[in-house]
């Protein structure tokens, strides 16, 4: 029983830690997709954020400034994507593919210049995003250890749950959110009502990059302590998958990210107690997702105007 509670605590901890960066990126993806712009460049934006976050934290010593700058770096690439797709009417998939090459390419070159290596210098404990509620639980009892595992978590994790709530509120309870969703469904109708579709989409894609950048910074500033070229491998695509899984709703994306996080957590625990092939265990999150899609989720309706460039009528 003690063992089980311990393991369960560790799984929950890992779930939250793995889900956090995915969730930031997924919220970003939501913004872009719901406004009608396919953003496959999330991965590249995350890489930019991951690098910038650690570098700024390393040089200034402030994790929060690093975290913020990680977001801004993502927003910069988001802006590039927005200029190409929203203003110039470029194919959204092609532009996103370009971002996925440019983001890692540029930051790894910068790493070579700054550190003469593709890896950045590891952050100290003080430069990492701090853990909240660390040390307030009595770890000598089983229950205390469980609480410590689950609740003594990185501040960025607490923040992201707040962000989900905020995005949900913005999407469904504000005028901005209504307009945003309308832009993704019927931009021409929006235009006749005097909504500036171009401006709305531009803003949404930039926000999308900002959130993806925060997600990237989470990877290198919580789980790991440094940026490496393999820091971001596929998380961006998993985030996109989580959004499609969650039917383009922030609350759905939360569920998708937690599912991926939980399976990754399971992997950590099962991997420790060997006897089970690691590669097969690693497959679990993806197989579970496909099964969940078949059994529970089914059709995911893409926003009607998604992927189509909007050309202003005269």
CB 232 within 8 A of CB 216: yes
Q: How many CA atoms lie within 13 A of 60 on its CB side?
A: 14
What crossing angle do the helices spanning 250-272 and 155-173 adopt, rounded to 10°? Answer: 150
DSSP string, 112-154: HHHHSSSSPPPPPGGGSPPBTTTT-S-TTSHHHHHHHHHHS-B
Q: Is position 5 an interface residue for another protein (rule: CB under 8 A)?
A: no
Of residues 250 and 285, the one with the C-beta less far from another protein: 285
Q: How far apart are CA 213 and CA 62, in angstroms?
A: 17
Residues with Cβ < 8 Å from 237, sequence gap 6 or more? 42, 43
| Residue number, 64 or 237, with CB nearest to another protein | 237
Shortest distance, position 129 Cβ to another protein, whole Å: 24
154: β partners: 131
Q: Which of residues 272-291 bind another protein (CB under 8 A)?
A: 277, 279-280, 282-283, 285-287, 289-290
Interface segment toward another protein; rule CB under 8 A; list 92-100, 131-139, 155-163, 175-183: 92-100
Closer residue to another protein, CB minimum distance, 8 or 237: 237
Instruction: Specify the stretch interacting with another protein by CB under 8 A; choose among 101-109, 121-129, 146-154, 184-192.
Output: 101-109
Find the helix packing angle between 175-185 and 2-34, rounded to 10°.
Answer: 70
190 binds another protein (CB under 8 A): no
Residues that bind another protein (CB under 8 A): 40, 80, 84-85, 88-91, 93-95, 97-106, 108-109, 112-113, 230, 233-234, 237-238, 240-241, 244-245, 277, 279-280, 282-283, 285-287, 289-290, 293-294, 298-300, 302, 309, 311, 314
């Amino acid at each position: 029983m003690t063992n089980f509670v311990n393991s369960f605590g560790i799984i929950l901890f890992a779930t939250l830690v793995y889900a956090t960066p995915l969730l930031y990126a997924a919220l970003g993806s939501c913004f872009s997709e719901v406004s009608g712009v396919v953003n496959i460049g999330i991965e590249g934006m995350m890489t930019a954020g991951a690098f910038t976050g650690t570098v700024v934290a390393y040089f200034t010593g402030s994790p929060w400034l690093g975290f913020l700058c990680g977001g801004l770096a993502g927003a910069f690439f988001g802006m590039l994507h927005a200029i190409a797709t929203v203003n110039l009417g470029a194919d959204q998939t092609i532009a996103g593919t370009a971002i996925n090459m440019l983001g890692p390419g540029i930051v790894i070159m910068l790493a070579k210049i700054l550190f003469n290596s593709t890896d950045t210098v590891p952050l100290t404990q003080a430069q990492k995003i701090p853990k909240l509620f660390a040390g307030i639980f009595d770890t000598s009892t089983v229950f205390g250890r469980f609480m410590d595992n689950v609740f003594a978590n990185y501040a960025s994790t607490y923040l992201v749950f707040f962000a989900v709530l905020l995005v949900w509120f913005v999407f469904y309870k504000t005028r901005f959110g209504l307009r945003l969703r309308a832009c993704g469904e019927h931009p021409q109708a929006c235009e006749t009502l005097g909504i500036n579709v171009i401006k709305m989409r531009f803003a949404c894609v930039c926000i999308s990059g900002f959130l993806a950048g925060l997600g990237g910074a989470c990877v290198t500033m919580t789980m790991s302590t440094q940026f490496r070229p393999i820091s971001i491998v596929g998380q961006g695509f998993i985030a996109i998958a989580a959004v499609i899984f969650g039917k383009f709703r922030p609350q759905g994306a939360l569920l998708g990210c937690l599912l991926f996080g939980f399976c990754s957590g399971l992997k950590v625990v099962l991997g420790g107690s060997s006897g089970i092939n690691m590669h097969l265990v690693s497959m679990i999150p993806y197989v579970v997702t496909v099964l969940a899609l078949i059994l529970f989720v089914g059709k995911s309706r893409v926003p009607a105007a998604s992927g189509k460039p909007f050309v202003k009528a005269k």
